[in-house]
Amino acid sequence: MEEEKKGLSRREFLKVGAVAAGVIAAGEVLGTGSLNLLSRGGKASAGEAAAPAWPWPYKKLDPEAVQKAGYNAYYEGGCMYGAAKAIIVALQTQAGYPFTTIPIDIFRYGEGGMVGWGTVCGALNGSAAAITLVSGKADYGKLVNELMGWYTQEPFPSKKHDQYAKFPGQVQNACGSPLCHVSVTEWCKKSGAKVTDPERLDRCAKLTGDVAARAVELLNAQADGKFAAGYKPSDLFGGCMGCHVGKTSALNNVQGKMNCVQCHEPHKL
């Protein structure tokens, strides 16, 4: 380790520093000699240091603090950025390194369901990234699945932000889908807002905090050994999956767990 520290010249550090500058406290990086961003194909070359092995150790966080942080961070970089930042900065505060090496700006692309395409909600995407960072192979899938399912059934936005939000007391809607397209459009329909209105942005800022807070609740439960999956697909489409989705289904011809009847008419055989 000592050698690696010396081996990392100032110039080399600045090279990666340009990418990482926003988040990495220089003292931390040089102090530990581990530069996550430098690893190529998982292996460090001379003068470089490998990232700590995945998953990184989780420390329990305060969901309410993360909820508010997510609301605020939405206004800096959108929904995926906001959710990821709320959780990762909380981990930086609780645990410091290696969480301090993550450049939060990599999560900007998720806004509007991937740069405005309306696919997966960015708050889900950012929260799922944070969950996966601190959960091993056996756990991240069940936690993310629970978050996705919960999201489809939850009336957003919560009232938890009403003390500080720009638009307290907004209309709530559960949209049945993890898609940004459905989530935003259905809420606009119900509230009368246009997609680019400040009211809609505030709704998504709150939602960002809500989803990040839920992710933290799930992680905390997992940390306590108390996580129990609660999500079940509704009967409206649970039956479709029996024939179309998965190895044990008759057809096994559909990828997905979304509500089929939001897009397809149910059919008779």
| Residues within the interface to ligand HEC (CB under 6 A) | 237, 239-245, 250-251, 253-254, 256, 258-264, 266-267, 269
Copy the structure tokens of residue 264.
């397809």
In contact, 34 and 13? CB cutoff 8 Å = no
220 vs 262 by CB, closer to ligand HEC: 262
Residues recorded for the chain: 269
CB 49 within 8 A of CB 98: no
The residue among 105, 141, 146, 142 whose CA lies nearest residue 126 is: 105
CB 51 within 8 A of CB 133: no
Joined tokens for residue 133? 């960072």
Residue 34 or residue 259: which is nearer to ligand HEC going by CB? Answer: 259
Q: Which is nearer to ligand HEC, 18 or 269 (CB)?
A: 269
> 81 with 73: CB under 8 angstroms?
yes
CB nearer to ligand HEC: pick between 46 and 250 = 250
Q: Closest separation between CB of residue 180 and ligand HEC, Å?
A: 12
**Rounded least distance, CB 235 to ligand HEC, Å:** 10
- Nearest distance in Å: CB 177, ligand HEC: 7
Measured from the CB of residue 185, what is the shortest distance to ligand HEC in angstroms? 12
Q: Which is nearer to ligand HEC, 229 or 251 (CB)?
A: 251
Distance, in Å, from the CA atom of 168 to the CA atom of 165, rounded to the nearest integer, reads 6
Q: Closest approach of Cβ 201 to ligand HEC, in Å? A: 24
